[in-house]
């Protein structure tokens, strides 16, 4: 004969203090889990932020070098314009065509710094910038990032002018073969009113239809290009270079404080 055991069913309710204790324990467990998840998430995001800032540091170092090198080249281009202008004022320009070719070909080099915005964009789009506790550093990163668009506008203005006014002179008035040979070099040396080139100018070098060349128009075109370039240097490139160096120092300090600086 089978014996059936009936489950014990409590016939009395728990004391209200026990319910309160159990509820409190559940609440504390949930809150601790939530806090732990927040800490873990914050830790991961901080690590990602440091990695992004390390990439920014590399970009800023490259940008600072590019700014410096390009300003040197642009300064030499301005020197070339001044040489052409002086020779023209002295009425000697048509007597020193090799110098004109060398100076003109060096001015024709398109050189303007373009900021590397990959790390900047990543920091902003990923929200990593919000995990940088230094408020001044966050502001400087955002401020520096805005320079990229302004530099691009100046580049477009310069190149549009070169396309419309300068390049047509290079194509129609200069001996194509020798001009192309010169364009392969950017190591021109300037000595007084001479531009020393890596290659020797051919004998009897002239401009195309030199007797009918409009020197006044030519100097006007070069003068306006020089004005545009100098304006870009003063209003954009040099200030952005200063911003770059300033931000580079702040980023370096941030990485040092977080023991994450890698040269």
User: Residue 211 pLDDT more than 70?
Assistant: yes
Q: How many Cβ atoms sit within 10 Å of the Cβ of residue 180?
A: 12
122 Cα distance to chain centroid: 14
Can you tell me whether residue 251 is helix, strand or coil?
Answer: helix
**Poorest-pLDDT segment among 42-56, 131-145, 159-173:** 42-56
Q: H-type helices in 127-175, by residue range?
A: 135-145, 147-161, 167-173
**At 20, is the pLDDT very low, low, confident or very high (cuts 50, 70, 90)?**
low
Q: Estimate the crossing angle of helix 135-145 against helix 147-161, to 10 degrees.
A: 20
Q: What pTM, to 2 d.p., does this model score?
A: 0.79
pLDDT band at residue 41 under the 50/70/90 scheme: very low
SS3 (DSSP) at 190: strand
Q: What is the mean pLDDT of residues 182-204?
A: 84
Mean pLDDT of 23-43: 56
d(CA 249, CA 243): 10
Q: What is the pLDDT of residue 30?
A: 61
- 191 DSSP assignment: E
Could you give the 3-state DSSP secondary structure of residue 194? strand
The mean of the pLDDT values for the chain is: 86
What pLDDT score was predicted for residue 39? 47
CA distance 66 to 145: 16
Residue 47 predicted with pLDDT over 90: no
| Rounded mean pLDDT, 146-168 | 95
pLDDT classification of 235: cutoffs 50, 70, 90: very high
Q: What percent of the chain has pLDDT over 90?
A: 59
Rounded to the nearest 10 degrees, how much is the dihedral formed by the CA atoms of 43, 45, 47, 48? 170
* Rounded Cα–Cα distance for residues 252 and 2 (Å): 83
pLDDT value of residue 1 = 47
Report whether pLDDT(68) > 50. Answer: yes
When comparing pLDDT for 188 and 110, which is higher? 110
Per-residue model confidence (pLDDT) at position 197? 86
């Amino acid at each position: 004969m089978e014996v059936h055991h009936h489950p014990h069913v409590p016939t009395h309710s728990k004391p209200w203090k026990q319910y309160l204790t159990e509820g409190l324990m559940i609440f504390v467990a949930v809150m601790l889990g939530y806090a732990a998840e927040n800490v873990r998430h914050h830790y991961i995001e901080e690590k990602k932020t440091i990695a992004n800032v390390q990439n920014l540091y590399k970009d800023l170092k490259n940008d600072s070098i590019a700014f410096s090198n390009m300003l040197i080249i642009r300064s030499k281009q301005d020197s070339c314009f001044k040489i052409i202008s002086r020779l023209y004022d002295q009425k000697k320009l048509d007597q020193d065509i090799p110098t004109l070719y060398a100076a003109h070909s060096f001015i024709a080099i398109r050189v303007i710094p373009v900021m590397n915005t990959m790390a900047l964009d990543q920091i902003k789009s990923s929200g990593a910038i919000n995990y940088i506790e230094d408020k001044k550093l966050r502001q400087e990163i955002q401020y520096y990032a805005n320079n990229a668009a302004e530099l691009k506008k100046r580049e477009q203005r310069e190149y549009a002018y070169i396309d419309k006014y300068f390049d047509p002179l290079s194509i129609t008035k200069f001996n194509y073969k020798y001009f192309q040979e010169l364009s392969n070099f950017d190591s021109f040396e300037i000595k007084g009113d001479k531009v020393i080139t890596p290659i020797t100018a051919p004998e009897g070098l002239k401009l195309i239809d030199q007797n009918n060349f409009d020197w006044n128009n030519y100097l006007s075109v070069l003068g306006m290009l020089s004005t545009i370039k100098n304006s870009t240097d003063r209003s954009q490139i040099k200030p952005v270079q200063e911003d770059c160096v300033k931000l580079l120092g702040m980023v370096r300090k941030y990485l040092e404080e977080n023991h994450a600086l890698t040269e």
